[in-house]
């Protein structure tokens, strides 16, 4: 058994400098200070390549890793002890020498429908007229939109949450789709006209959860971060990430995965839903699977098994066409 380690006196969090990323890091700082009174927790703000390249879609410039590389460099050279990420932005394969030490309790994982201020009469995607322009930054959302609402126009939308809302309000789009969690965390829930239920827009792996990354082998940090770890949320995120890893997990692949914990006769189990789609939405492969328990390596096994089923059902052909 690991000996109890002395409490930390100072910790440094590496964070992107967007308003949402800083909120997330402030949230983790407050949790750390509650868990370890007297510990000084500083935030090292950084601009990543993902924040700098705003004129092209993520899938075309290197994917989600663009949001974490600079933060990992700060961990590697000792400028920071931990990095706080939106779990959906963390690549499915971490570079050697890094690990996720904690997953925080998940916020609302759904997507949200947001209308421009001059389009308040539209309460849902179904209300939009044919030809209306809907903005999204995600191939996952785009493919599901194209499959369900082929009469709508889907346009690329980059930038932080506030930038995206500004583009909407100046009339570049009739509506946009954003993660509900980010809007709630920024006290912008009043901008949400309606929520897209998972059956209509299945979330991204890790959506709504915070992931804390550290250098591998930091047993001291693992213990200090233990009070911030939420076992149920972690089990769900682990299942989603395992499925994504097994299906390549790249930004070029429209992929969704969403797990929830369920009460079963034998204890707490997992229900995992997933889909793989062609970018145009013409081909959508969906499936779901349940595991009778959520402990041990059950999340990874569930993700791998459902990924294999999706491949057999046709996801392999979609992946091959994209690569």
Residues 6 or more apart whose CB falls under 8 angstroms from that of 117 comprise 169
DSSP, res 172? S
At 287, phi and psi to the nearest 5?
Answer: -165, 170
DSSP-based three-state secondary structure for 33: helix
DSSP, res 312? I
- Calpha distance 148→200 (Å, rounded): 8
**Which tokens belong to 297?**
């390596």
The one catalytic residue in 89, 108, 190, 200 is: 89
**Catalytic annotation present for 89:** yes
DSSP, res 315? I
**159, 19 Cβ separation under 8 angstroms:** no
**318, 140 Cβ separation under 8 angstroms:** no
DSSP-based three-state secondary structure for 227: helix
Residues 6 or more apart whose CB falls under 8 angstroms from that of 85 comprise 24, 67, 68, 71, 210, 211, 212, 213
Closest CA to 41 of 14, 73, 74, 71: 14
What beta strand segments (E) does the chain contain?
10-16, 40-46, 82-86, 98-103, 111-115, 133-136, 153-156, 175-179, 192-196, 210-215, 255-264, 267-277, 284-291
**25, 13 Cβ separation under 8 angstroms:** yes
Closest CA to 161 of 280, 306, 301, 16: 16
Q: Which residues are catalytic?
A: 89
């Amino acid at each position: 058994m690991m000996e109890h380690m002395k409490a930390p006196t100072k910790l440094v969090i590496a964070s992107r400098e967007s308003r949402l990323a800083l909120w997330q890091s402030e949230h983790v700082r407050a949790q750390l200070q509650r868990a370890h009174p007297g510990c000084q927790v500083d935030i090292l703000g950084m601009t990543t390549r993902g924040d700098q390249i705003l004129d092209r879609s993520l899938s075309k410039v290197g994917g989600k890793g663009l949001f974490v590389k600079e933060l990992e460099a700060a961990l590697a050279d000792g400028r920071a002890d931990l990095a706080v990420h939106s779990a959906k932005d963390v690549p499915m394969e971490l570079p050697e020498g890094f690990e996720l030490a904690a997953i925080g309790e998940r916020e609302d994982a759904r997507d949200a429908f947001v209308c421009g201020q001059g389009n308040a009469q539209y309460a849902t995607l179904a209300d939009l007229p044919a030809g209306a322009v809907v903005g999204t930054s995600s191939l996952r959302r785009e493919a599901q939109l194209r499959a369900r609402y082929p009469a709508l126009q889907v346009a690329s939308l980059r930038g932080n949450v506030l930038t995206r809302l500004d583009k909407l309000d100046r009339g570049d789009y009739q509506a946009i789709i954003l993660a509900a969690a980010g809007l709630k965390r920024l006290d912008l829930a009043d901008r949400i006209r309606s929520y897209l239920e998972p059956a209509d827009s299945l979330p991204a792996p890790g959506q709504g959860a915070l992931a804390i990354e550290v250098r591998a082998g930091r047993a001291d940090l693992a213990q200090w971060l233990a009070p911030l770890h939420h076992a149920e949320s972690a089990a769900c995120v682990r299942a989603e990430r395992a499925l994504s890893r097994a299906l390549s997990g790249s930004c070029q692949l429209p992929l969704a995965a969403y797990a929830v914990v369920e009460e079963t006769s034998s204890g707490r189990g997992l229900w995992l839903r997933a889909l793989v789609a062609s970018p145009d939405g013409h081909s959508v492969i969906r499936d779901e699977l349940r595991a009778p328990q959520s402990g041990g390596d059950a999340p990874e096994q569930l993700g791998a098994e459902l990924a294999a089923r999706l491949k057999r059902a046709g996801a392999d052909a979609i992946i091959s066409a994209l690569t």
